[in-house]
Structure 1
Amino acid sequence: MDCQKVISYFKTISSIPRMSGDEQAVSDYIMEFAKERGLEAVRDGMNNVIVKKPATESGCDETVILQGHLDMVYVKTEDSTHRYEDGIKIKENEEFYYAGDTTLGADNGIAVAYCLAVLDSEELKHPNLEVIFTAQEEVGLAGADAMDISTLKGNKFINLDSEEEGIFYASCAGGLRCRMYWDIETKRQEGTYHMWKVSLHELKGGHSGMNISMGRGNAIVLLGRILQGLRELDVKTAQIHFPGKANAIPSMGSLCVYAEPEKREAVEKKLAGLEAVFKKELQYTDTIAIKMEEAVVENPETYTEELQEKLINSLVLLPNGVFTYSQSMEGLVESSMNLGALSEEDGRMMLLAMIRSSVASRKYELRDKLYIIAQTFCDDCTFENDYPGWEFRRESMLRDLSVEIYEELFGKKAEVAAIHAGLECGYWDDKKPGMDIISMGPDMYDVHSPEERVSKQSVENMWRFLVALLERLAN
């Protein structure tokens, strides 16, 4: 079947501003779309929408669920004059659809376009369809969390939010965020001190799920090692600032180090030695530079010794990186933790961390470790945004059929994989146990950035695949 209707719907919904939390207009569009075609549609208070369409052949008992999310991440270049309220105007070249100076929103606008094209088609043979459009996926899967799917009949679920053609995902990680707090207490030091603003630069950073096993340096972990290394010199610290997000490996940050004049040479030697150690450790996976800006100050105000000791002990003991690997899929990270941000906030020092695991018990094992460390060395600790994972199943008719159809259509083998990041599939698996679930999508690149683009050929390929899969399921 022709893919032009998919592209037409993609352009239409792209013209509607739909940043996370602002899905009212695009949700209205979906509801009106369903009304015009006489399709049953319901919407909840989060602007999640479910549209149902009967099977093309009478007597078909199979019900299949299709799902994508309505919201997009809106980012633009520094010099862009684009206005969010104008929507996204899609551009194209021979290979890609793109936006130019903003994010494209193919994540997950392409899924919405596929679903609308299926619902609008009078030619496509398909089973009974229940099509889910979720809101606020990009801000912690909030729409999926709130959505009630208990009345749905489908036992086969196709999520359209993956970004690599020919890879069918069969597992994803659940997540849990942690915030640790220390009350900031300072002390005025008497006399003349040398002060260094120590900054970490040039680390690659990356996604805390996709890149966690690549051996990249975490700036906050390295901060802990710097503080531990300076411990024997009895230096003072202040103004720790390592900005970031829970789901990103931090790549930079700074702190101020204070020492008496007679310790100047020892401090600089220690910092240079630590930089050399880090460079050697990271030589095959990352880069790093430690920069120092020196000044002489009188009577500086620094963190108290008690606060400094709590911070050092916490940062040295906190787990970071891969915790366990899966025993069901070779090379798959099963559980991990990322220290994402550390900075002063309203009179407190706050550390934001992210736990991921496709096995719930492993996620809570890491939570317990954090809680024990926090009880000993922190002033407060909270956990939030707990969302479920999707555990790999050995048997899946939908997965096997998808692999078979893909090879028939394109003459090459598809790959079954798992992703150490959050997909809404975890919620569907949790809310309606026993469903057969896969996740798929066309090739996308640099999503969530102004360089975002989606392959034209891949969009067409995955449309052909979806049509073939639905027709096979209808039989």
Structure 2
Amino acid sequence: MQSLSTLAPQGLWTWFNTICSIPHPSKHELALRDHIQQWADEQGLATQLDQVGNLIIRKPATPGLEHLKGVILQAHLDMVPQKNSETEHDFVTDPIRPRIDGDWVLATGTTLGADNGIGMASALAVLADERIEHGPLEVLLTIDEEAGMTGAFGLEAGLLKGDILINTDSEEEGEVYMGCAGGIDVELTLPTPRSPIKAGFETFTLALTGLKGGHSGVDIHLGRGNANKLLSRFLFGHAEALGLQLISLSGGTLRNAITREAFATVAIDPARRDQLAELMAHYQSLLNQELGGVEYPIEFALQPAEGAADAINPEAQRQLLALIHAAPNGVIRMSDAFPGVVETSVNMGVVETVEEQVKVLCLIRSTVDSGRSMVENMLAALAQLAGAQYQASGAYPGWNPDPSSPVMQVVRETYQGLFGKLPNIQVIHAGLECGLFKEPYPQLDMVSIGPTIQFPHSPDEKVNIPSVEKYWQLLLAVLKAVPSK
């Protein structure tokens, strides 16, 4: 298998290979952070850990460039852990195994961690290479971005000395981001008291699998199916007529990933098993007709399951299926200010049965506070109608665009000089940490750039090799073109 170290730029890809070799899912990124800190200490670079565990590394300016404004290269340490159900992989203990496929690098059956591993690798490669010219440099590596932005929330004022922050978490080469959406988590908890399963009923699991999933921000406009919503659609339409007793419902593991697989364990009269199988086969065919342009072939299978003593009682079952089926999901509104960009969306990322209750976790994103509030209230209203508990948490601000940003102008002109065309200046419908950095560092001039990464937050995640080289060229040229203090 071709090694990543054969790719250009070699320093960046060598670092990315190292990052892949050290498990670093959200909440478990400290081994990687400590490895990087040890390396930096060995290089004689100044390092600092802040109160929440973010790592800051400082490198003096190239001799003669001390007059340039200080630059902070920023990336997050953690990656999204997503795998296909048939893939055996423990993200806490097993390394990611990247492979080259044509112009792409990807993993097999798991997320790759190019989000934000490539950006992190680029920052570390700059630190490692004495030939790269730059002014005063800091590298900020934050923790837990994907699962709550803990590092960005906890960043203290006064630690960073730079004037310009370059966020490396964008995922489309040729686009330069000057703003992003804010977001909030909403959890709906519905009580689901139990009642005995009828005598003679058989137990099965309805498994809806094969969807692509993806990032609930940058992929939400693609029209992909959400397994939680698709499964609830079937159950809402047929459970009562079939006399199904719902034992449990589950789907998804992360609020910021579009759900790829969902499962319902049910009890049914054996006399109606064939009817259920026929309806499922028809529904599978229907879904593949509806979503065939954006999805792989979707599979909807009936699998034997262990018997159970009880199931959700009929009234709670009706409320639950109605709640999930009625809840909004996907794009709510497109932006007028930025054509082609999603303004407001919601993703039903997780459905989980926990004893006598079912939890539904959604992530709302919006570049407009009123849009976010509108969807919050929609979910609160549904919870009220269904008798569910509503809880909103983890709100983070968007990053408001600054059209007069000096670093934006530098990036724009540098890109045009390198590649003979202007980049697309854009706002991203995803949660970058930049909005949170503005609170302790209101004067920071910020921009976000990156290579082309497709299908982040899903096992299909891959990064385009030629785009990484162009991103690297742009990054080095911008570091040299930074204005004087």
Q: TM-score range by the shorter chain?
A: 0.7 to 0.9
Compute the displacement of 1:99 (Å).
7.1
On the 8 A contact 1:42/1:51 being kept in 2, the answer is yes
CA distance in 1, matches of 2:266, 2:299: 16
Structure 1 equivalent of residue 53 of structure 2: 47
Structure 2 equivalent of residue 391 of structure 1: 400
Structure 2 equivalent of residue 137 of structure 1: 145
CA distance in 2, matches of 1:122, 1:115: 13
Change (3 A) 1:377 1:30: same
- Return the letter of the residue paired with 1:216: R
- 1:305-316 counterparts in 2 under 5 A? 305-316=314-325
- 1:167 to 2:169 alignment: no
When normalised by structure 2's length, the TM-score is: 0.79
CA distance in 2, matches of 1:399, 1:91: 34
Compute the displacement of 1:122 (Å).
4.7
Worse-superposed segment, 126-135 or 29-38:
29-38
CA distance in 1, matches of 2:182, 2:166: 18
Change (3 A) 1:247 1:447: closer
**Which of 318, 327, 335 is residue 326 of structure 1 equivalent to?**
335
- Return the letter of the residue paired with 1:165: E
- 1:342 to 2:342 alignment: no
- 1:184 to 2:165 alignment: no
Compute the displacement of 1:373 (Å).
2.0
| SS of aligned partner of 1:403 | helix
Compute the displacement of 1:86 (Å).
8.6
On the 8 A contact 2:23/2:91 being kept in 1, the answer is no
Change (3 A) 1:173 1:280: same
**Which of 240, 251, 266 is residue 243 of structure 1 equivalent to?**
251
Compute the displacement of 1:291 (Å).
4.8
On the 8 A contact 1:242/1:250 being kept in 2, the answer is no
- Return the letter of the residue paired with 1:166: G
- 1:357 to 2:334 alignment: no
Structure 1 equivalent of residue 75 of structure 2: 68
- Return the letter of the residue paired with 1:243: G
CA distance in 2, matches of 1:54, 1:6: 20
- 1:110-129 counterparts in 2 under 5 A? 110-129=118-137
- CA deviation string 1:140-166 (max 9, x = no partner): 322222221444343422011223322
**Which of 364, 370, 375 is residue 366 of structure 1 equivalent to?**
375
- Return the letter of the residue paired with 1:214: L
- 1:21 to 2:27 alignment: yes
Compute the displacement of 1:68 (Å).
1.4
**Which of 414, 431, 453 is residue 405 of structure 1 equivalent to?**
414
Change (3 A) 1:98 1:197: closer
CA distance in 1, matches of 2:395, 2:324: 23
On the 8 A contact 1:236/1:302 being kept in 2, the answer is no
Change (3 A) 1:121 1:362: same
Structure 1 equivalent of residue 266 of structure 2: 256
Structure 2 equivalent of residue 211 of structure 1: 219
Change (3 A) 1:346 1:125: same
CA distance in 2, matches of 1:307, 1:328: 43
CA distance in 1, matches of 2:87, 2:285: 38
| SS of aligned partner of 1:213 | helix
Compute the displacement of 1:445 (Å).
5.3
Structure 1 equivalent of residue 229 of structure 2: 221
| SS of aligned partner of 2:190 | strand
CA distance in 2, matches of 1:4, 1:202: 36
Q: Report how many aligned residue pairs link the two structures.
A: 471
- Return the letter of the residue paired with 2:70: T
Compute the displacement of 1:406 (Å).
1.4
Change (3 A) 1:150 1:327: farther
Compute the displacement of 1:336 (Å).
0.8
Compute the displacement of 1:182 (Å).
2.0
**Which of 304, 312, 324 is residue 303 of structure 1 equivalent to?**
312
CA distance in 2, matches of 1:411, 1:389: 31
| SS of aligned partner of 1:139 | coil
Compute the displacement of 1:370 (Å).
1.5
CA distance in 2, matches of 1:463, 1:292: 49
CA distance in 1, matches of 2:288, 2:257: 21
Change (3 A) 1:380 1:88: closer
CA distance in 2, matches of 1:283, 1:94: 25
On the 8 A contact 1:126/1:474 being kept in 2, the answer is no
CA distance in 2, matches of 1:271, 1:4: 50
Which structure is larger by alpha-carbon Rg, 1 or 2? 1
CA distance in 2, matches of 1:42, 1:332: 38
Compute the displacement of 1:339 (Å).
1.7
Compute the displacement of 1:329 (Å).
0.9
On the 8 A contact 1:236/1:303 being kept in 2, the answer is no
Change (3 A) 1:112 1:383: same
- CA deviation string 1:19-67 (max 9, x = no partner): 4434444434444555556654321243312233454447726232211
CA distance in 1, matches of 2:258, 2:342: 16
Structure 1 equivalent of residue 423 of structure 2: 414
Change (3 A) 1:128 1:80: same
CA distance in 2, matches of 1:221, 1:62: 49
- Return the letter of the residue paired with 1:68: A
CA distance in 2, matches of 1:121, 1:206: 34
CA distance in 2, matches of 1:321, 1:241: 21
Compute the displacement of 1:244 (Å).
0.7
On the 8 A contact 1:61/1:128 being kept in 2, the answer is yes
Change (3 A) 1:186 1:175: same
CA distance in 1, matches of 2:96, 2:197: 55
Compute the displacement of 1:420 (Å).
2.0
| SS of aligned partner of 1:324 | strand
CA distance in 2, matches of 1:83, 1:303: 33
Change (3 A) 1:460 1:436: same
Worse-superposed segment, 90-99 or 421-430:
90-99
When normalised by structure 1's length, the TM-score is: 0.80
CA distance in 2, matches of 1:43, 1:306: 53
Unaligned runs of 5+ in 2: 1-7
Identity %: 35
CA distance in 1, matches of 2:29, 2:279: 53
- Return the letter of the residue paired with 2:69: E
